[in-house]
Amino acid sequence: MKTRLKKALDRALSAILPNRCLLCHQLVTGCRTGICNYCLPTCLYSTPVCLGCGKPMTIVQCYCGQCMKREPLKVIAACSYHQGLGPWIAAIKYQRQFAVLPPLIEALACRIKSLVSRGTIQMPQALLAVPLHSNRLHQRGFNQAVVIAKSLSKQIGIPLVEGVIKREKDTPAQAGMSGRQRRLNLRQAFSVQLSLPLQRVALIDDVVTTGTTVSEIHKLLAAQSIDVQIWCLARAEAPHISLE
């Protein structure tokens, strides 16, 4: 309870102290917002990680030994959700607190460019954002995945194509659900509105937890023979922690 109270106080304090680091409250200098130069590196991945399961690795390659056998969806993230910025990433959509967006998007863009230059992943031809249902979009006023995708599109120079995927079902929030419940919750929740003359796309979301949402969309795009990789701000590696 004490920790929760402290976190709530930290958030309130940071909201009224502009240009202060969200984590240590030191003044942030330069044009960066949200997080200082000392705290940011401690919140980002400091080693290569497996694009399948998120495990740290000693060398840059696509998958760890275990994932190599089954080649799961490739997820490229800037950080782990559990590495310090999780509550602030959740605050983007729930409290419209956008301060961590610019540094995290920049870190994600850097990671993507580095993986492309090493040949670990191929640059996609277009970006797609995980859609919200129109009811949720109306309530929230914005889709955080679109906000992230627009900024990445500018930084990486790949177009964002909107309106390709539609969320048909206004499904309940997934937090707290098991993997099976998530799969049932999202069954036939999405549809593809256009057929894309593309071979490779990146699907953008804020957080990937169990990967159920992105897997559902991947199935639809794979049916059009489109290769899909996932780009997100953070991945929550432990599937029992449901924060999507």
Which residues contact Zn ion by CB under 5 A?
Answer: 21, 23-24, 36, 39, 50, 52-53, 64, 67
CB of 166: closest distance to Zn ion in angstroms?
31
CB of 27: closest distance to Zn ion in angstroms?
9
CB of 143: closest distance to Zn ion in angstroms?
29
DSSP state letters, 4-15: HHHHHHHHHHHH
Closest CA to 44 of 90, 10, 89: 89
Of the pair 39, 127, the CB lying nearest Zn ion is at 39
Of the pair 9, 175, the CB lying nearest Zn ion is at 9
Write the single-letter amino acid at 242. S
CB of 26: closest distance to Zn ion in angstroms?
5
Write the single-letter amino acid at 46. S
Of the pair 23, 130, the CB lying nearest Zn ion is at 23
Contacts of 162 (CB under 8 A, 6+ apart): 129, 146
Indicate the SS3 state at residue 192: strand
Of the pair 176, 239, the CB lying nearest Zn ion is at 239
Distance (Å) of CA 166 to CA 133, 194, 228: 8, 10, 17
CB of 75: closest distance to Zn ion in angstroms?
10
Alpha-carbon span 64 to 44, nearest angstrom: 19
CB of 93: closest distance to Zn ion in angstroms?
23
Write the single-letter amino acid at 85. L
Of the pair 52, 86, the CB lying nearest Zn ion is at 52
Of the pair 34, 131, the CB lying nearest Zn ion is at 34
- Token representation of residue 88: 């602030």
Q: Where are the alpha helices (DSSP H) in the chain?
A: 2-16, 39-43, 65-70, 86-95, 101-117, 134-140, 144-156, 179-185, 212-222
